[in-house]
Amino acid sequence: MVKINIAKMNYKITVLPGDGIGVDVTREAVACMKTIGKKFGHDFAFEEHLMGGCALDKVGVPLPDETLKAALDSDAVLLGAVGGPQYDNNPPKLKPETGLLALRAGLGVFANLRPAFLHETLIDASPLKADIVRGTDLLIVRELMGGAYFGQPRELTDERGLNTMAYTVPEVERVARVAFEAARLRRKKLHSIDKANVLESSQLWRKTVVRLAAEYPDVELHHGYVDACAMQLVMRPTDYDVIVTENLFGDILSDEASVLTGSIGLLPSASIGGKVGLYEPIHGSAPDIAGKGIANPIGTIASAAMLLRYSCKLETEARLLEDAITATLKAGYGTPDLKGQPNRVTTTEMGDLIRKYVESN
Ligand code: NAD
Ligand code: IPM
Ligand code: MN
């Protein structure tokens, strides 16, 4: 019998625009995926659901059951951002951010890949001196389902707030493997970042990474403390290739790394390791610019490219979308956060320019 392999061409994508600029940037990324679909003959079926503050407003919970169910039943999830000042004093269960953590845990995505790459053309958008940032190209692998974000016990009373930072060996091993494998495909250098001089969870983290390193003799492994790493990142960013670190440290270091590239609005992420991948820019709902039509959509469009790569296995399509971003930046276009770009555009105009490149290349 002849076995015929028919490449899958239909993909079900759950779209969670969320709050604030999440809505604007997700719209652009979805439109880019539609353009890619049309060009290459793929059928992306997008299904939008409530998540975050908008879900709290409409149905009273940040992650409705039907949203998680739809997400689990799809090929990938594309998320904008959640949160807003009106929810900041909500009890923990009724915070938009709690919904996001529940989504990550519900999907089982324990490894969050956050690439920070400086486009040569944006060298003046970075607040750092050109000779320091030139050549920055790093990947933060952030643990996403453990640490202080999820550790028990946790509680909030009138007198006390409590969180627990805990890691088990399997939790460290699985994310460290993702990082070692990623390093193998890059420049084969891995920095494991912890606070092992103080924290027991970090001591276990380091011991586990050291043990695993024996399986990856081709990867050069370094260890560093998170405080020193925060400093080195802005002093010698090109020293880094892949960084693997726990949840909270990864959250902080990735915002810092985004500044090297010119704007937090540029950085995408892919959360993998579970049944369904989750793709979101690293930034938040940006209440200060929400509703103004000026948010940078590139982080979300680049997240869509990661979705094409990791969840749909469409490497050519992912590359084309990334090339479109690079070319549009090179042509001098930029939303107002990209200082030094001569051609200032809105969120939608930026999306349109990227789509035009996709159509004609
Ligand atoms: P933020 O990332 O929303 O904004 C920080 C700064 O960066 C702001 O000045 C903002 O205008 C700017 N910025 C962010 N994204 C941008 C973009 N795409 N284009 C141009 N400028 C951009 O962080 P914040 O202000 O600390 O948080 C706001 C809310 O977002 C909070 O409720 C927070 O909990 C939430 N948040 C959500 C996510 C998420 O959904 N993944 C991530 C981070 C923060
Ligand atoms: C991020 C955000 C989230 C996090 C919040 C909104 C829960 O800051 O995705 O970086 O801390 O993980
Ligand atoms: Mn963050």
- Distance, in Å, from the CA atom of 85 to the CA atom of 53, rounded to the nearest integer, reads 10
pLDDT at 2: 47
Model confidence over 256-302: pLDDT tens digits?
A: 999 999 999 999 999 999 999 999 999 999 999 999 999 999 999 99
Model confidence over 34-47: pLDDT tens digits?
A: 999 999 999 999 99
Q: Is the CB of 278 under 6 A from ligand 1?
A: no
Which ligand has the minimum distance to the alpha carbon of residue 99?
2
Ligand 2 nearest-atom number relative to CA 97 = 7
- Distance, in Å, from the CA atom of 231 to the CA atom of 118, rounded to the nearest integer, reads 18
For domain 7-119+261-361, the question of CATH label 3.40.50.620 is answered with: no
User: If you take atom 5 of ligand 2, which residue's CA is the nearest one?
Assistant: 97
pLDDT at 8: 64
User: If you take atom 44 of ligand 1, which residue's CA is the nearest one?
Assistant: 284
218 classed as catalytic:
no
pLDDT at 5: 44
Class at the top of the CATH hierarchy for domain 127-260: alpha beta
Model confidence over 199-232: pLDDT tens digits?
A: 999 999 999 999 999 999 999 999 999 999 999 9
Find the 283 Cα to ligand 3 centroid distance in Å: 6
DSSP three-state, residue 243: strand
Q: Choose the catalytic residue: 11, 251, 310, 337.
A: 251
Instruction: For tokens 């996001």, name the residue.
Output: 100
255 classed as catalytic:
yes
Model confidence over 5-64: pLDDT tens digits?
A: 456 689 999 999 999 999 999 999 999 999 999 999 999 999 999 999 999 999 999 999
What type of residue is 3?
K
275 classed as catalytic:
no
Q: Is the CB of 280 under 6 A from ligand 1?
A: yes
DSSP string for residues in 280-308? --SS---TTTTTSS----HHHHHHHHHHH
Whether the Cβ atoms of residue 251 and residue 271 lie closer than 8 Å to each other: no
Find the 288 Cα to ligand 1 centroid distance in Å: 9
Give the percent of the chain with pLDDT over 70: 98
- Distance, in Å, from the CA atom of 150 to the CA atom of 81, rounded to the nearest integer, reads 20
pLDDT at 282: 98
Find the 342 Cα to ligand 2 centroid distance in Å: 32
User: If you take atom 26 of ligand 1, which residue's CA is the nearest one?
Assistant: 284
pLDDT at 283: 98
Model confidence over 87-106: pLDDT tens digits?
A: 999 999 999 999 999 999 99
Report every protein residue that has its C-beta within 5 angstroms of ion ligand 3. 251
User: If you take atom 4 of ligand 2, which residue's CA is the nearest one?
Assistant: 251
Model confidence over 64-89: pLDDT tens digits?
A: 999 999 999 999 999 999 999 999 99
Q: pTM for the whole thing? A: 0.97
The CATH 3.40.718.10 portion of the chain extends over 7-119+261-361, 127-260
Q: Would you say residue 4 has pLDDT above 80?
A: no
Can you give the length of the chain in residues? 361
pLDDT at 9: 82
